[in-house]
Amino acid sequence: MRVVSGIQPTGNLHLGNYLGAIKQWVAMQDDVAKAGGDCLFFLADLHALTVAIDPKELAANTIEMAAALLAAGIDPEKAILFNQARVAAHAELCWILQGTARMGWLNRMTQWKDKAGKNRDGQSAGLFTYPVLMAADVLVYKTTHVPVGEDQKQHLEFARDVAAKFNTDFGVDLFVLPEPLVSTAAPRIMSLRDGSAKMSKSDPSEMSRIHLTDSDDAIAQKFRKARTDAEPLPDTVAALAERPEAKNLVTIYAALAGKTPDAVVAEFAGQGFGSFKPTLADLAIATLGPIRDRLTRLLDDRGAVAQILARGGDRAATLANPTLAEAQAAVGLQV
Ligand code: TYM
């Protein structure tokens, strides 16, 4: 079993990333290591170049996001933690796969459509071909499983299409078709201000998301001001179907508590948000507070975090380079 996943080092880690992906990464690293497999987790700094960036901020964010992953429980003895730019095979394989990926497939990507909006001509070419690099990230390790939030599932289907077409076109059995692993507890955490938009780093409103660096007071305030309705909680999750903001808070509670949403509504049925929100805030503070405190300590020694990434990058490269060499040979490159 080989597990690979990435996160863009733009902004801070938020609760959507944590519950949708990172919690799964942490949970998997022990089992996979025990079963003799590998977990590789990386900061997708090359992907961050597809939108406007400040070079100093990108460098700092990469270290800060790596520290946040360590604080959340990623153990560099069990998992390989690195930044994408350090392993040149990602970008090299990406270029080879540009010859396999089809424009029509890219045109169908909902993330591209959402991010580009009406101004397609004004976007970077990289934003359009973003999924090809993501396919390379995964295929270069012959990855079997990719733990992600639901929003990345379409990109992984694209990666599977690229892998299958490459194998067929060049008559090889080289790339493994990766399986997405989407957390059932928290497939998609929504904005605290709008139950129809996912919690996202690119939302201009800070009140829409909880950061792992938020103070206890900020967490409590964001939940207090979260948009909800005046109805009390029902006794079934199905009854929340038309109440997306209310449903989102129940999902968050359930994912933090390690319970099912059904168990949560059964526990709080009949209560209004005036009492549910403070209970949710207390639970979030109890879970996120220790992560924030570890993160603060880790950021006292950024050099040590950079060293962990360098070591992880070397280990990742030894796993990636043989696949890159096979792909180069398959397409007839003399390198
Ligand atoms: P990114 O940086 O947007 O998010 C990192 C992870 O967090 C998940 N996530 C969420 N899950 C639930 N609810 C939310 N509101 C929410 N917001 C984010 C994402 O699904 C993701 O798992 N393209 C990727 C990074 C990437 C990658 C890869 C992932 C690059 N190469 C290869 C897997 C494999 C991205 O931008 O994730």
Say if 9 falls within a structural domain: yes
One domain for residues 305 and 286: no
Contact 284, 210 (CB under 8 A): yes
One domain for residues 164 and 227: no
Q: Whose CA is closest to atom 9 on ligand 1?
A: 17
Say if 196 falls within a structural domain: no
For 162-172, what is each residue's pLDDT tens digit? 999 999 999 99
60 contacts: CB under 8 Å, gap ≥ 6:
none
Using CB atoms within 10 A of its CB, is residue 251 exposed (0-12), middle (13-18) or buried (19+)? buried
Say if 122 falls within a structural domain: yes
pLDDT attached to residue 296: 95
Angstrom distance (rounded) from CA 5 to CA 138? 8
Q: What is the mean pLDDT of residues 20-32?
A: 94
Say if 321 falls within a structural domain: yes
One domain for residues 23 and 103: yes
23, 198, 222, 247: the catalytic one is 198
pLDDT attached to residue 66: 97
pLDDT attached to residue 276: 96
C-beta of 21 in contact with ligand 1 (< 6 A): yes
201 is catalytic: yes
C-beta of 83 in contact with ligand 1 (< 6 A): no
Pocket test for ligand 1, best of 148, 203, 209, 252 (most atoms within 8 A of CB): 148
For 172-184, what is each residue's pLDDT tens digit? 999 999 999 998 8
Known binding residues for ATP: 8-10, 16-17, 149-151, 189, 198-202
C-beta of 188 in contact with ligand 1 (< 6 A): yes
For 92-106, what is each residue's pLDDT tens digit? 999 999 999 999 999
Mean pLDDT of the chain: 96
One domain for residues 281 and 323: no
314 contacts: CB under 8 Å, gap ≥ 6:
none
* Planar angle of CA 20, 113, 48, nearest 5 degrees: 60
Q: Which of 9-13, 73-77, 93-97, 194-198 has the lowest mean pLDDT?
A: 9-13
Tell me what percent of the residues of the chain surpass a pLDDT of 70.
100
For 313-334, what is each residue's pLDDT tens digit? 999 999 999 999 999 999 999 8
For 197-213, what is each residue's pLDDT tens digit? 999 998 999 999 999 99
pLDDT attached to residue 191: 97
DSSP E strands in 27-141: the ranges are 38-43, 80-83
Q: According to DSSP H, which parts of 226-272 are helical?
A: 244-257, 261-268
Residue range of the domain that includes 174: 2-188+301-331
Instruction: Flag whether pLDDT at 138 surpasses 80.
Output: yes
Contact 151, 188 (CB under 8 A): yes
Q: Whose CA is closest to atom 24 on ligand 1?
A: 7
Q: Which residues of 101-138 are buried (b: 16+ CB within 10 A; e: fewer)?
A: beeebeeebeebeebbeeeeeebeeebbbbbbbbbbbb
Which residue, 118, 126, 109, is CA-closest to 8? 126
Angstrom distance (rounded) from CA 13 to CA 65? 7
Instruction: Flag whether pLDDT at 185 surpasses 90.
Output: no
Sheet holding 2-7, edge to edge: 80-83, 38-43, 2-7, 145-148, 179-182
Contact 186, 255 (CB under 8 A): yes
Taken as a whole, the chain contains a residue count of 335
Instruction: Flag whether pLDDT at 11 surpasses 80.
Output: no
Residue 271, domain CATH:
1.10.240.10
pTM of the model: 0.96
Number of folded domains in the chain? Answer: 2
Compute, in angstroms, the gap from residue 260 CA to the centroid of ligand 1.
23
DSSP-derived secondary structure letter, 242: T
Q: What is the mean pLDDT of residues 7-32?
A: 93
For 240-296, what is each residue's pLDDT tens digit? 999 999 999 999 999 999 999 999 999 999 999 999 999 999 999 999 999 999 999
One domain for residues 135 and 218: no
One domain for residues 287 and 324: no
pLDDT attached to residue 332: 98
Residue 320, domain CATH:
3.40.50.620
Compute, in angstroms, the gap from residue 270 CA to the centroid of ligand 1.
35
Contact 106, 135 (CB under 8 A): no
Structure tokens at 57: 């901020």
Q: What is the mean pLDDT of residues 72-76?
A: 97
Q: What is the mean pLDDT of residues 52-65?
A: 95
pLDDT attached to residue 278: 97
pLDDT attached to residue 10: 85
Say if 28 falls within a structural domain: yes
One domain for residues 179 and 225: no
* Planar angle of CA 64, 114, 145, nearest 5 degrees: 60
C-beta of 185 in contact with ligand 1 (< 6 A): no
Amino acid at 294: R
Angstrom distance (rounded) from CA 187 to CA 148? 8
Angstrom distance (rounded) from CA 253 to CA 284? 8
198 is catalytic: yes
C-beta of 45 in contact with ligand 1 (< 6 A): no
